[in-house]
Amino acid sequence: MTTGAAKTNLLGLPQGRLEAFFAALGEKPFRARQVMQWTHQRGVTDFDAMTDLSRKLREQLAETAAVVVPTPSLRQDSADGTVKWLFPSGSGQAVETVFIPESARGTLCISSQVGCALDCAFCATGAQGFNRNLSADEIVGQVWHAMQHLPRRPNGEPAVTNIVFMGMGEPLANYRNVLAAAELLISDFAYGLSRRRVTVSTSGIVPHIDRLGDDCNVSLAVSLHAPNDALRDRLVPINRMHPIRELLEACWRYAAKHSNRFITFEYVMLRDVNDSAAHADELFRLLDGKPAKVNLIPFNPFPGNDFERSSADTIRAFQERLRRRGLVVTTRKTRGDDIDAACGQLAGKVTDRVRSRLGERGARTAVA
């Protein structure tokens, strides 16, 4: 997804940066809005087809810039309608994007990094290690491609109504590029999604939760997965740097900045690890009275990992125990598992640079 001859790829530039680009060409700011609409809304990448730009400007653009979109190396369609694409990310590597159609919405799950350095114990992406951050155009390119290649919904809406940063990578460890992409997702001149329909999911990089709260109030999901530090240290190693108390305080600050919008807490259900009644009670005490909802995720197994999924009965009992006392709790349906597209199964193709550099897995959290 590079532009070759040092041309600027306009695909990943949010409005402010695109306006600065046009200012440098001596052009008015509205040119940025025009090019955004052509690119993101009409899917046009050829400046020559952008007919409301003067011929001179189109020629000037062709010399200095390009709109470079990604081409997947593979598309897989699941029996349940889920679609997974593999997008090359250089040096033989690739990241994955998943589309999950439902009657009320179409959710696109996008990747933010090639691999992930945070090494959560139950995650296929983490097990692959980390190679690099995706650029803003590589992140937005996943959305561009899905919008162009999926049929519209029966009601005429675009196929993708919701976007979650829940693919490969830790979005808040690639803050600048994720923010640029999120700005485009909610811009009226690009994808025009409401902030409620764009969700950044984080394992808990606390300083960047605060930053996101100031910069862009999209919805926030937090991968909690354990109700105490001893267990969370083991499952989500970033917890050793930012323990639960610190993480939750950042969550409540985030919620308070945005009229107490609910934060979603993701909780992967691991048999005999975090799924007992005592764990449910402990979780309840953390979230009681707060703007919080819980999303239970049945663990999705992958090769080389020993965890097991909690039984359906255990998950139901855990959910009921929290619900009875007034928490909003949902359980995520597993989708696309016949094409390895379910939560936590996205492995892509990653050459781990961190493990080879630091020589040990535990040291990987140091790069967060």
CB 203 → ligand SF4: shortest distance, Å?
Answer: 4
Q: At which residue do the structure tokens 């530039």 appear?
A: 13
Interaction of residue 122 with ligand SAH, rule CB under 6 A: yes
From 82-90, 119-127, 179-187, 245-253, span contacting ligand SAH (CB under 6 A): 119-127
What is the CB neighbour count within 10 angstroms for residue 151? Answer: 7
By CB under 6 A, name the one of 299, 318, 336, 347 that touches ligand SAH: 299
By CB under 6 A, name the one of 67, 190, 220, 297 that touches ligand SAH: 297
Interaction of residue 212 with ligand SAH, rule CB under 6 A: no
For 46, residues 6+ apart whose C-beta sits below 8 A from its C-beta are 67
Yes or no: say if 173 and 203 are a contact pair by the CB < 8 Å rule: no
CB 341 → ligand SF4: shortest distance, Å?
Answer: 15
Return the active site residues. 96, 343
Interface contacts to ligand SF4, rule CB under 6 A: 116, 118-120, 123, 125-126, 169-170, 203, 223
Would you report the helix, strand and coil content of the chain in percent, each value rounded to 5? 40, 20, 40
**Type of residue at 5:** A
The beta-strand segments (E) located in 154-249 are 162-165, 198-202, 219-223
Structure tokens at 72: 């997947």
Interaction of residue 344 with ligand SAH, rule CB under 6 A: yes
Interaction of residue 199 with ligand SAH, rule CB under 6 A: no
Interaction of residue 97 with ligand SAH, rule CB under 6 A: no
Query: Minimal CB distance to ligand SF4: which residue?
Result: 126
Interaction of residue 340 with ligand SAH, rule CB under 6 A: no
By CB under 6 A, name the one of 19, 119, 266, 340 that touches ligand SAH: 266
From 42-50, 100-108, 114-122, 210-218, span contacting ligand SAH (CB under 6 A): 114-122
Interaction of residue 268 with ligand SAH, rule CB under 6 A: yes
Q: Which lies closer to ligand SF4 via its Cβ, residue 137 or residue 170?
A: 170
Between CA 127 and CA 112 the distance in angstroms is 16
CB 328 → ligand SF4: shortest distance, Å?
Answer: 22
Cα Dmax for the chain = 69
The beta-strand segments (E) located in the chain are 8-9, 65-66, 74-77, 83-88, 94-101, 106-109, 113-115, 130-133, 162-165, 198-202, 219-223, 263-269, 292-298, 328-331
Q: Which lies closer to ligand SF4 via its Cβ, residue 120 or residue 200?
A: 120
Between CA 194 and CA 185 the distance in angstroms is 8
Q: Which lies closer to ligand SAH via its Cβ, residue 166 or residue 280?
A: 166
Yes or no: say if 136 and 180 are a contact pair by the CB < 8 Å rule: yes
Residues facing residue 101 across a β-bridge: 106
Yes or no: say if 5 and 62 are a contact pair by the CB < 8 Å rule: no
Q: Which lies closer to ligand SF4 via its Cβ, residue 53 or residue 251?
A: 251
Residue ranges in contact with ligand SAH by CB under 6 A: 116, 120, 122-123, 166, 170, 201-203, 223, 266, 268, 297, 299-300, 343-344
